[in-house]
A and B are shown apart, each in its own frame.
Chain A
Amino acid sequence: MGEVLNMSRQAEPAAAQSPKPAVVSLSDARVTYGPTVAVDGLSLVIRPGEVIGLVGANGAGKSTLMRVLCGAATPETGTLSVADAPVDFDRYGPSEAHVRGVRIVWQELSLCANLTVAENMFVERPDVGASALGWRRPFRRLARESLDAVFPGAEIGVDRAVGDLPIGQRQMVEIARAATAPGLSLLILDEPTSSLDAVRSRQLRDFVRARSAEGLAVIFISHKLGEVLDIASRVFVMRNGRAVMDAPAVEVTPTRLVEAMGGKDAVSATARPPATRGEALAHIGGALTAPLGGDITLHAGEIVGVAGLEGDGQKPLLERLFRARAHDRDVTRNARVAYVSGDRAREGVFPLWPVSANIAIGRIAERAPLSRVSARKERQAAEPFAERLDLDRSRFSSNILELSGGNQQKALAARALASEADILILEDPTRGVDIGTKRAFYEVAREAARRGKLVIWHSTEDAEFAECDRVLVMAAGRITAELTGEEISEERVLATAFAGREAAGDAAGAQRGNLSLALARLALRNAALVGLVIVCAALVWLNPMVASAFGIELLLGPAVALTLIAFAQMFIVGGSEIDLGVGAFASLVNVLSATLLVSSPVLGVGALLAGLAGYGLMAGIIRLRAVPAIVVTLGASFVWYGLGYSLQPSPGGAAPEWLRAITQWSITGVPTPLVLILVFTLIASLLHRSRLGTVLRGFGSSPLALERSGWSPLRYSIIRYVIAGAFAGAGGLVITAMNGASDINAGSGYTLLAVAAVVLGGCRLLGGFISPVGVAAGAVTLSLIGALLGALGVSTDFNAAVQGLLMISVLGLRALVEREDT
């Protein structure tokens, strides 16, 4: 491994005197993304008990290296062995890495926000614990023990949803979950302390020290150099995908680290005349520039760099410059702006369009909606800009995705230039492009500045700031320094950024709590219960008879079926989808159970099971063909309806005796429907809280995290739909029992009502937050609204409108509260 090291003075760790097998041994690994070499022939041997401090500037290749170690990226060349057993890269994924004892705590958290701390433990290690009831207990204990092992005294409620925890505590859970996994041999911590306060950060380091003494190997990645030197036994510095320093921590100082990261052979800035400043185009002030002691004005004709360590507020600053909202007094601009993002796939290209249209949209977007657009003219207009960027004109008709990343980026730049905006925001525009394209970009930026544009350039490659006239260095969300002219160099930028981080202090996870917002959230989450109480109170006030057992029985009768069908919808919504066929399916079951099930029970049961299989099939189509659930279920609703209509075109049939017996019993003084609703709610709640329900909820909010932990999306999708089908079917059976007959149109109204009940019940359409009690309350409230309107003397015609308005206002208010939250 010595050949790639500039400093080959390799430290033999004390443990190596009696050589233990290496925990991980990577040799000559090379990873490229298009023309970018992320890891360039790098070798790394880690022995038990070592703590490696891994540092490097942005884009040095640290993350890619870690992805290789934990199975999330495959190198083109090189070999990897874990515990002296060679790794077959084709079969080495995150779960295989887990089995072999290699774990990483990702920078972007991989917990399910809607699950509790204990449930997140379960998702990761489902094999612990056995009993069906109280299955959470071992995971609660596990969670508590893990947290105490790493962060003693951290009072984190293990029954709280992770999403409700402040970011610092979330990070603690994430670390504790990975760090205490059984059979762990290498723990990778990627910026673990970014949201931890000083105490927790020290606790983590103490834990690492204690575990490494027992033989655990740790890789500790951080921009906080003091921490790295404090904890590491060995320091490994990366630059441009290579190792540039590998030395015992005791021999290293922070200054030397920064030097090693920044190197001297950066892209040499070519000589160029100083920028001639034009009129002021943008202004940054307020809290953002407080560390500087004054505002910053950006002028036409300048190239202004925005630098800092990753996640220090550069992107949000660019976003604010782009939006320049009226109420944002700190960031203002008085000219039109164009934005080029380096994240081409997510923020740049239009994948269905050829290159020419991708460029032309920059010009077209500005025009009045009805102004004419001619492809030929737009193409001609785009040509000069493409030429300036050296973009081959013969490729204009090709789909943009057929171009290399560099050429795609050129097209996006041409789009911005074509828009004739006066301010160009370039957000890491040269990410993943070759050196030739980079040069072209520098040239374009300079020419744009010469033509009197203001260019604002954010880069994750600090060397690129040599192209700028001014560099604003950010730390912890603020601009902490402004470098100009001669001051701008890679080392200087880096040093200033680190200095800013230290000065800003540890980013303690201080969360603002707002009482009134919390109350509003609580009320909204329980909107259905609040609504239920109000509706019931109003009904009783208007007519005290309602409160009698008979009154309740009469009023709640229709609510039973709705509650069940709403549960069906709830489980689908838990997966961030909507079923527009639940009502029709309930009707079909209604018809089946009143006809076929009576005349030929075996065939009837078979038909009901086939219906459930149909639900599973829908899930398969939706998942495998990636089509929207809403249309598939809408189509299915026609199938359900058609089948039911074919069986029995006009209302009729009779309920099977046993079915009537189940639902029509009566004990004096006990309202049967109320008992049924409570029983069904209990069943739904138990399912929701069971291990299966927990996995389903996890998929609703963080499918990726679940997949990483080895759960199959297709399988659980099918299970989810079959559960929904079962509840909708039960709803259909209840309709049969209650009406004593069947009608294919009986359930048609339930589809919309079920969605309304789910919305009222506090469930979220995105994110897997569902609540059976809320949904039941919502369903009952909705069925009582008709009675209430009747009691108030309002025509039942208003029923639907009240239900619709209720839905809209709950969702609208929720949107308002969420806007306040962010």
Chain B
Amino acid sequence: MNRILSLPKRHRWIWAALGVLVLWVALSIATERFSLHSISGVARSASFLALVALGQMFVIATGRGNIDLSVAGIVTLSAFVTVTLADGSNLHLPIALGAALLTGLVVGLINAFMVVRLKIAAMIATLAMGYILATATLMVNRQVRGFETAPALEWLASGRIGDLPVIALVAILAAALAAFLLNATAYGQSLSATGQNIRAAELAGVRTGRTVTISFVISGVSAAFAGALLSANVGGAFLDMGTPYLLQSVGAVVLGGSLIFGGFSTALGTLFGALLLVLIVTTMQIWGLPAGAQDVVQGIVIIAVLAFAGGIGAKRRSAPRRT
């Protein structure tokens, strides 16, 4: 189903996969400490990141440097909503989860309204949204009575089937769904067209406004879903718990081989990108690198990959002008 994209671009995810493989092998050989247990720890962290990054990928795909900066705020707010409403019981879980996802949906819709209707640049609109979410989180925070998570959600977030973390299955399913949307639906094709050239897409009959709206909604809902699961994983909610996901979600998308200027996205790549990013962090931890240095390396890796891949994207971008 990927055939609609030509061959070399189809394999962009391979770089991230190779990176994962190399680091994995290196770690296994170099240190005893990298046990099976730490692998599943890596897989779990990567899965939460993958959920947010898969959503971010849809916004980045809309092109023109669009990025959803509100994902961090959504993750945090949704965690608070889930904890507050579920109140430690499976009975209230559907309502809690529903409310959390609804939060993501509404935020996505408002983001899209600002970008599509008011024509505010995506990064500013989502930045401003981040402010509002911060206040909303503080409001919900006041309602929080206890930090008990619903057992069913806890199973999803930190349970395991055999040796496999359930959350990894969830992430894989989400990636499969994203791949299906991107490659096998009219929306996916419209999204790629919009990201490559929004004017050409409009003239080709693509309803670009609707396409962009769907993308922001997907991003909002997946961040909300990740937030709900995260609350179950850490057993509660705290302010700023979503903050790391801002850069890391963009980083996973870029590492995975999706184009930062939009038009081409790979769900499999984003999955590997998230895994690679978490592996890099884990490697640094195993090496005993201090926390500060870990941040520095993360930042440099993302800029370096972007500078490398950006050149490719830029070349493609300027190509039509030469004809």
Determine if B170 is an interface residue (Cβ-Cβ < 8 Å): no
Which of A347, A797, A808 has the most chain B CB atoms closer than 10 A to its own CB? Answer: A808
Tell me the chain A residues, 315-372 only, with Cβ under 8 Å from chain B: 322, 338-341, 344-354, 356-357, 360-362, 364-372
Q: Are A357 and B186 in contact (CB under 8 A)?
A: no
Determine if A752 is an interface residue (Cβ-Cβ < 8 Å): yes
Tell me the chain A residues, 735-758 only, with Cβ under 8 Å from chain B: 752, 755-756
Which residues does chain B contribute within 8 Å of A811, judged by CB atoms? 114, 118, 120, 124-125, 128
6 A-B pairs with CB atoms under 8 Å apart are A352-B192, A369-B185, A371-B186, A637-B299, A643-B292, A797-B138
Cα distance A635–B184 in the bound complex, in angstroms: 33
1/0 per position for B123-141, CB-CB distance to A under 8 A? 1110111111011101100
Determine if A374 is an interface residue (Cβ-Cβ < 8 Å): yes
Q: Please report whether the interface of chain A is mostly helix, strand, loop or mixed according to DSSP.
A: helix
Knowing A401-B319, A630-B65 are in contact, say whether A645-B291 is a contact too (CB < 8 A): yes
Tally of chain A residues near chain B (CB < 8 A): 88
Q: Are A804 and B130 in contact (CB under 8 A)?
A: yes
Knowing A368-B186, A798-B135 are in contact, say whether A626-B311 is a contact too (CB < 8 A): yes
Q: Are B1 and A374 in contact (CB under 8 A)?
A: yes
**Residue from B118, B203, B210, B310 in contact with A369 in the complex, judged by beta carbons closer than 8 Å:** B210
Q: Are B299 and A625 in contact (CB under 8 A)?
A: no
Tell me the chain B residues, 293-317 only, with Cβ under 8 Å from chain A: 293-300, 302-303, 306-308, 310-311, 313-314, 316-317
The residue of chain A having its C-beta at the shortest distance from the C-beta of B318 within the complex is A626
The residue of chain A having its C-beta at the shortest distance from the C-beta of B207 within the complex is A365
Which residues does chain B contribute within 8 Å of A646, judged by CB atoms? 290, 292-293, 296
Determine if B261 is an interface residue (Cβ-Cβ < 8 Å): yes
Determine if A800 is an interface residue (Cβ-Cβ < 8 Å): yes
Knowing A368-B186, A645-B292, A797-B138 are in contact, say whether A631-B6 is a contact too (CB < 8 A): no
Q: Are B203 and A348 in contact (CB under 8 A)?
A: yes
Determine if B254 is an interface residue (Cβ-Cβ < 8 Å): yes
Knowing A807-B124, A808-B120 are in contact, say whether A369-B131 is a contact too (CB < 8 A): no
A97, chain B: closest CB distance, angstroms: 22
Q: Are B1 and A635 in contact (CB under 8 A)?
A: no
Which residues does chain B contribute within 8 Å of A311, judged by CB atoms? none
The residue of chain B having its C-beta at the shortest distance from the C-beta of A639 within the complex is B299
Binding site for B on A (CB under 8 A): 34, 322, 338-341, 344-354, 356-357, 360-362, 364-376, 378, 397-399, 401, 405, 408, 415, 419, 421, 578, 621, 625-628, 630-632, 634-639, 641-647, 649, 752, 755-756, 759, 765-766, 795, 797-801, 803-805, 807-808, 811-812, 815
Cα distance A340–B197 in the bound complex, in angstroms: 14
Q: Are A636 and B311 in contact (CB under 8 A)?
A: no
Knowing A347-B199, A349-B200, A371-B186 are in contact, say whether A632-B306 is a contact too (CB < 8 A): yes
B226, chain A: closest CB distance, angstroms: 19
Cα distance A370–B319 in the bound complex, in angstroms: 32
Which residues does chain B contribute within 8 Å of A397, judged by CB atoms? 6
Determine if B11 is an interface residue (Cβ-Cβ < 8 Å): no
Which residues does chain A contribute within 8 Å of B302, judged by CB atoms? 631, 634-635, 638
Q: Are A370 and B135 in contact (CB under 8 A)?
A: no
Determine if B263 is an interface residue (Cβ-Cβ < 8 Å): yes
The residue of chain A having its C-beta at the shortest distance from the C-beta of B210 within the complex is A369
**Residue from B67, B184, B247 in contact with A372 in the complex, judged by beta carbons closer than 8 Å:** B184
Knowing A360-B189, A642-B294, A807-B128 are in contact, say whether A628-B135 is a contact too (CB < 8 A): no
Determine if B250 is an interface residue (Cβ-Cβ < 8 Å): yes
Which residues does chain A contribute within 8 Å of B246, judged by CB atoms? 634
Q: Are B205 and A365 in contact (CB under 8 A)?
A: yes
Q: Are B319 and A634 in contact (CB under 8 A)?
A: no
Which of B192, B193, B263 has the most chain A CB atoms closer than 10 A to its own CB? Answer: B193
Q: Are A815 and B292 in contact (CB under 8 A)?
A: no
Q: Are B131 and A804 in contact (CB under 8 A)?
A: yes
Which residues does chain A contribute within 8 Å of B54, judged by CB atoms? none
Cα distance A399–B323 in the bound complex, in angstroms: 13
Which residues does chain B contribute within 8 Å of A401, judged by CB atoms? 319-320, 323
User: Could you count the A-B residue pairs with CB atoms below 8 Å apart for me: how many are there?
Assistant: 275
Binding site for A on B (CB under 8 A): 1, 3-6, 9, 65, 67, 114, 118-121, 123-125, 127-132, 134-136, 138-139, 184-190, 192-193, 196-197, 199-201, 203-207, 210-211, 214, 246-247, 250-251, 254, 259-261, 263-264, 290-300, 302-303, 306-308, 310-311, 313-314, 316-317, 319-321, 323
Cα distance A765–B193 in the bound complex, in angstroms: 25
Which residues does chain A contribute within 8 Å of B187, judged by CB atoms? 369-370
Q: Are B293 and A364 in contact (CB under 8 A)?
A: no
Which residues does chain A contribute within 8 Å of B206, judged by CB atoms? 361, 365
Which residues does chain A contribute within 8 Å of B303, judged by CB atoms? 621, 631-632, 635-636, 639
Q: Are B6 and A752 in contact (CB under 8 A)?
A: no
The residue of chain B having its C-beta at the shortest distance from the C-beta of A357 within the complex is B4
B315, chain A: closest CB distance, angstroms: 9
User: What 8 A-B pairs have minimum CB-CB distances, sorted nearest first?
Assistant: A804-B131, A642-B295, A646-B292, A638-B299, A626-B314, A627-B310, A801-B135, A645-B292
Q: Are A350 and B197 in contact (CB under 8 A)?
A: yes
Which residues does chain A contribute within 8 Å of B299, judged by CB atoms? 635-639, 642
Cα distance A805–B135 in the bound complex, in angstroms: 11
Which residues does chain B contribute within 8 Å of A642, judged by CB atoms? 291-299
A786, chain B: closest CB distance, angstroms: 12
Which residues does chain A contribute within 8 Å of B9, judged by CB atoms? 352
Knowing A346-B200, A649-B291 are in contact, say whether A365-B316 is a contact too (CB < 8 A): no
B99, chain A: closest CB distance, angstroms: 19
Which residues does chain B contribute within 8 Å of A339, judged by CB atoms? 203-205
Q: Are A373 and B132 in contact (CB under 8 A)?
A: no
Cα distance A85–B260 in the bound complex, in angstroms: 48
Which residues does chain B contribute within 8 Å of A340, judged by CB atoms? 203
**Residue from B118, B196, B204 in contact with A352 in the complex, judged by beta carbons closer than 8 Å:** B196
B283, chain A: closest CB distance, angstroms: 16
Which residues does chain B contribute within 8 Å of A639, judged by CB atoms? 295-296, 299-300, 303
A263, chain B: closest CB distance, angstroms: 29
Which residues does chain A contribute within 8 Å of B316, judged by CB atoms? 351-352
